[in-house]
Amino acid sequence: MTRKSLSIVTIVALCLAGPAAWAQARIDEVGEQLVNDFIDNVITLQGRFEQSLIDAEGIVQERSSGTLEIERPGRFRWSYSEPYEQWLVADGLNIWSYDVDLAQVTVKPQAKALANTPALLLGGSEDALSQFSFDGSMVEKGTTWVRMIPVDTKSGFERMELGFMNGQLTRMVFFDNLDQTTLVALYDVTTNEPIDSERFEFQVPDDADLVGTPVMAEESSP
């Protein structure tokens, strides 16, 4: 993806609007380029995360933390350690959710489960951007925030905001259709370092119940 230049019509409009509009247009352009660079250049990402679920009243309902590993396209692993151990593994065909305490595994076809969700943008292929539209940017305390809206209005998410500091993705905020907000803060992030492929493989433990039927490789072929 290449950096989009301002159209002649936009330039004329900005000339009439004055310096403030020029500044905002440049911020929007920078924000969009940050997302494009992430999609184009980041193949793997590893780090720690802290996640908060906030209700419509602004009250934190749940806090969790763990580690995140992404290998684009199509593979990621969220390993929750607090408040309880849970794994969320995408192997390119299926998404496996393993609740260790409950000894239960839920599996869903990955393509359907991730369609039009923020996870698709983070771990999907380059064409994942086609399922989202840019809705402006802003800079606050050194972080450039980029707002994106899913093209599919039935996706379950109203919008998401990605925060970049020094060119690195450090914050993600997801707003769902239930007026809940999920805030994810990333720490100790490294990019484009090798990740063992076994991290994206999942075997159902012998003592766990399986809910759902995994998609096999031949079933996903055109």
Instruction: Give the Cβ contact number of residue 160 at 10 Å.
Output: 22
- The full set of domain ranges for the chain reads 13-220
User: 3-state SS of 61-106?
Assistant: EEEEEEEEEEECCCEEEEEEEECCCEEEEEECCEEEEEECCCCEEE
The model carries a pTM of 0.81
What is the DSSP pairing of strand 75-82 with strand 60-71? antiparallel
First to last CA, the chain: 26
For the residues 173-178, what does the mean pLDDT come to? Answer: 90
Fold of 13-220: outer membrane lipoprotein receptor (LolB), chain A (2.50.20)
Check residue 119 and give its pLDDT: 74
Using one digit for the tens of pLDDT, what is the confidence trace for 38-84?
A: 988 999 999 999 999 999 889 999 999 999 999 988 899 999 999 99
Task: Band the pLDDT of 6: cuts 50, 70, 90.
Answer: very low
Q: Which residue, among 94, 88, 146, has the nearest Cα to 121 in the 3D structure? A: 146
Using one digit for the tens of pLDDT, what is the confidence trace for 143-170?
A: 999 999 888 877 788 888 999 999 999 9
Out of 6-20, 95-109, 205-219, give the one with best mean pLDDT.
95-109
